Amino acid sequence: MVMLIFGTFGNILNVLIFTQQSLRSNSCANYFLASTIVDFVSLYFGYITRIFGSYNVNPPTSNLAIYCKFRTYFTYVALSMSSWFIVLACCDRFASSSQNVRIRSLSRVKIAKRAICTTVIIVSIVYGEMFYCFEASLLSFNCYPKANACILYNDFNLLITYSLLPPILMLSAGILTIKNVRLIRRISPASKATSTHTGIKTKDRQLMVMLSVQVTCIALLSLPISVQKIYYDLTLTWVKSVERQQIENFLSTLVVLISFMNSSTSFYVYTLTGKVFRKELKRIVFYCLRKPIPLTEITLTGATTYAH
């Protein structure tokens, strides 16, 4: 419940901040905004339904099959989209720091919106098989793949689209971006360190720092579910005791909950690492807390007037 409360609060503030005029015109901020929106979806389709289930609040058995399929589908689609939007943000930072004009031209809001729409379509199609592969259990009110082939395919799909490949691509793009930045510093005269060509010095540089820390968090929080899925697939045909199955089920639930932390911690990461983010946050807070200016009594030439 704590994760849901903090995640909801943080994601709402993320949306408010990334839709500010000063950030809306930045392509990287558009990827952050898209990631935040799908984080909402993963929290409310994946995490809150688990909370309801722990209190035995479940849908009617007549609707359980539909509920199961849609819950599983939207949870994993949202988690995957969130990771890929951060991958796109890393690629955007690489493009913005490139010396090549063509590559640098890819770091635009127009390109970002197209990339976001394309990612939504592709990921939605890739996970469409869940409507066939998953079925509901009337005993536990949970969703399970109905065959070993479905288990292997879904675990492989999760590794490729969420927990393993995206962090690798994020780190690769990050390394290339660092190389670009070092190259710019070497070839740019010291007197032009703050020129517009090396705009990495201000807002873009701060967004790079925010992105770097976010990528590290995603990689660390996605690692446990990657290890668990690989282990489960390798031992799928093993005969296991009831006690071992219970331990594995507990660990499986635990690593899924850890992965949901990616959907609830981004605001706090951005607040700690991004000066431009904190600036917009302060602006919003001051605007919300702004008090009306009290009436002031002004005396002019013996007459009393009141003004705001």
Contact in structure between 68 and 143 (CB atoms under 8 Å):
yes
Residue 5 tokens, joined: 């409360």
Task: Evaluate whether 30 touches 48 at the Cβ level (below 8 Å).
Answer: no
Catalogue the E-assigned strands of the chain: 134-136, 143-145, 296-300, 303-307
50 inside domain = yes
Residue-wise pLDDT tens digits, 89-144: 999 999 988 888 999 999 999 999 999 999 999 999 999 988 888 887 766 667 78
Nearest Cα to Cα of residue 83 among 138, 164, 173: 164
CA distance 255 to 175: 28
Residue 256 to residue 47: CA distance in whole angstroms: 9
The C-alpha torsion from 53 through 56 and 60 to 66, rounded to 10°, is: 10
pLDDT tier at 194, thresholds 50, 70, 90: very low
Any domain includes 275? yes
**Highest mean pLDDT (candidates 46-50, 75-79, 236-240, 287-291):** 75-79
Report DSSP state, residue 237: T
Report yes or no on 210 lying in a domain: yes
Please say whether the beta carbons of 107 and 27 come within 8 A.
yes
Residue 63: pLDDT over 70: yes
Which residues, in sequence order, are bridge partners of residue 300? 303
Query: Would you say residue 294 lies in a domain?
Result: no
Residue 195 in any domain: the answer is: yes
Backbone torsions φ then ψ of 238, nearest 5 degrees = -75, 150
Flag whether 207 is in a domain: yes
Centroid of chain to Cα 43: 11
- Band of residue 189 on the pLDDT scale cut at 50, 70, 90: low
Q: Any idea what the CATH number is for the domain that residue 189 is in? A: 1.20.1070.10
Instruction: State pTM to two decimals.
Output: 0.84
Parallel/antiparallel/unpaired status of strands 296-300 and 303-307: antiparallel
- Domain holding 274, by residue range, is 2-279
Percent of the chain whose pLDDT exceeds 90:
28
Over range 76-87, report the average pLDDT.
94
CA–CA separation, 144 and 134 (whole Å): 5
CA angle 167, 171, 177 (to 5 degrees): 145
Number of domains in the chain: 1
For residue 298, being part of any structural domain is answered with no
Check pLDDT > 90 for residue 38: yes
274/210 Cα distance (integer angstroms): 6
N-terminal to C-terminal alpha carbon distance within the chain? 45
- Helix 203-234 to helix 275-289 angle (10° resolution) is 100
Joined together, the tokens standing for residue 286 give 């001051």
Q: Residue 284 domain-assigned? A: no
Q: Is 100 helix (H, G, I), strand (E, B) or coil?
A: coil
